Structure 1
Amino acid sequence: MKEENQDTTHFGYKTVESNQKESLVADVFHSVAAKYDIMNDFMSFGIHRLWKRQTIACSGVRKGHRVLDLAGGTGDLTAKFSQLVGDTGQVILGDINDSMLKVGRDKLRDLGLVNNIEYVQMNAQALPFPDNSIDVITIAFGLRNVTDKDEAIRSMYRVLKPGGRLLILEFSKTDNEALSKLYDFYSFNILPTMGKLVANDSESYRYLAESIRMHPDQETLKGMMETAGFEQASYQNFTGGIVALHRGFKY
């Protein structure tokens, strides 16, 4: 969410120059890439796998589709999409961070998934694809790290085919006061400690906790999708609203 001054934006709770955020976020993910999958399981107690499974179930991906797994990191969604699109389809694992892409590529190749996956380093704000060329776009736990989220959503809309859909899986806001207090304590006390112990990096995980708090709430993000042109925009809360899955269609 940008501030009124378009020259500045948020990096966690800090205000930074907009042109600095990309490199600051890059440093975070260069640091955590090697331990990213392990930390995901620790941080969410494995529940992130259920959130991603539900995203895949809502994607409508089928044989022959061209799918963009944007900010796809280590390729959890790409692995399943690769099986769904088959030999006649294609999955593009796209991420702005080359360290994350390398980890994802190595993992997927170890799983024997090589024939229908392409790896592309890209910025979500300027997707390197023609208009109307992608059937489905997913972005899981990546939008909050984008400098200009509105521009990124417009870019996703542009490259989707008519009839295509966008799914955004992201941390969001819970209305449950007790859950919110517990989540805050976990995020700012337990999570950085886990980051230090597992990944030898507490500051990156403190940033990730802060970036979640600065991300637009469910209704705001739904409105951003509608402004970009998406129709039938909706969202589904998971785990009391700690995470939400937004969905929209291009007609």
Structure 2
Amino acid sequence: MVDSRQPPGDNPDTIDFGYERVPREAKAKRVGAVFDSVADNYDLMNDLMSMGVHRAWKQFTIQLAAVRPGEKVLDLASGTGDLAAGFAPRVGASGRILMSDINHAMLSNGRDRMIDRGLVSNVDYCLANAEKLPFADDSFDCVTIAFGLRNVTDKPAALAEMARVTRPGGRTIVLEFSKPALPGLGRIYDVYSFSVLPWLGRNIAKDEPAYRYLAESIRMHPDQDTLKSMMADAGFVRCGYHNLTGGIVAVHRGYAP
């Protein structure tokens, strides 16, 4: 059955945690608990939930980023490092990849996977909050965040920070779930999201609430055009997006002026 609940009215002192409203200062802790729980099964669940299509979404993002030898790349909410692993050989020995995540368990898993891949010579790690990045202005040629922005408490603040640390002419890329654009796809996607995802969470990851939050957080995330406008408001120019899989996922790109 499709979960048809509507989120409650807005309140400046609260923020969405899925369909629930929580104190703004509590969201990061609640999100952290979700990812502490799912970290060890993260890659397996991504494959099951998307039937492997997440790999194509990430490969498209890597191609769109068009990083070159010698560039510095910041990958926020890096998780288990799929984007970072794609960037590392492209920037080469003269470039650097910085994997960053607010969650220690996810960053630790990501570091282990990068070591397993043999990608250690040009990759660094940083535990950091996307809303308050500990980097100087104009530090990176490219900033990326994949499936992480919807979990941020203050999305405008995070986008402004991405704009601040992106060098003039550099680009920031956001890969995130979005709103289905094909007629009829939304209904099918709702049934899948609120039936299959919780079932997988309950039977595979042993945490149904975490995957119900996943489905709800996707519904609460801004649609394609709203996020494009938010990036422009944050200071990016030439903002645009590409819909993937009928708009279930979108890749947004903006340039620092």
Q: Which amino acid aligns with 1:130?
A: A
Superposition RMSD in Å: 1.2
Structure 1: distance between partners of 2:245 and 2:128? 31
1:227 alignment counterpart? 233
1:183 alignment counterpart? 189
1:7 aligns with 2:28: no
1:204 aligns with 2:213: no
1:142 alignment counterpart? 148
C-alpha deviations, 1:104-133, integer Å up to 9, x for none? 100110111111111111000011100011
2:31 alignment counterpart? 25
SS at match of 1:127: coil
Any stretches of 5+ residues in structure 1 without a counterpart?
none
1:63 alignment counterpart? 69
SS at match of 2:99: strand
SS at match of 2:67: coil
Give 1:174 deviation, angstroms. 1.2
Give 1:179 deviation, angstroms. 1.1
1:95 aligns with 2:101: yes
Give 1:4 deviation, angstroms. 5.0
1:49 alignment counterpart? 55
Give 1:82 deviation, angstroms. 0.8
1:104 aligns with 2:110: yes
Structure 2: distance between partners of 1:233 and 1:212? 21
Pick aligned residue for 2:248 from 242, 245, 248: 242
Q: TM-score normalized by structure 1?
A: 0.98
SS at match of 1:128: coil
SS at match of 2:170: strand
Q: TM-score normalized by structure 2?
A: 0.95
Structure 1: distance between partners of 2:33 and 2:216? 16
Q: Which amino acid aligns with 1:237?
A: N
Q: Which is worse superposed, 173-182 or 220-229?
A: 173-182
Structure 2: distance between partners of 1:80 and 1:113? 10
**How many residues align structurally?**
250
Pick aligned residue for 2:165 from 151, 155, 159: 159
Give 1:6 deviation, angstroms. 2.6
Structure 1: distance between partners of 2:60 and 2:135? 27
C-alpha deviations, 1:63-85, integer Å up to 9, x for none? 11100110010000111111111
Q: Which amino acid aligns with 1:117?
A: V
Give 1:5 deviation, angstroms. 3.1
1:174 alignment counterpart? 180
1:117 alignment counterpart? 123
Identity %: 55
Q: Which amino acid aligns with 1:134?
A: F
Any stretches of 5+ residues in structure 2 without a counterpart?
1-8
Give 1:22 deviation, angstroms. 0.2
The list of structure 1 runs, each at least 4 consecutive aligned residues, that deviate by more than 6 angstroms after superposition, is: none
Give 1:188 deviation, angstroms. 0.5
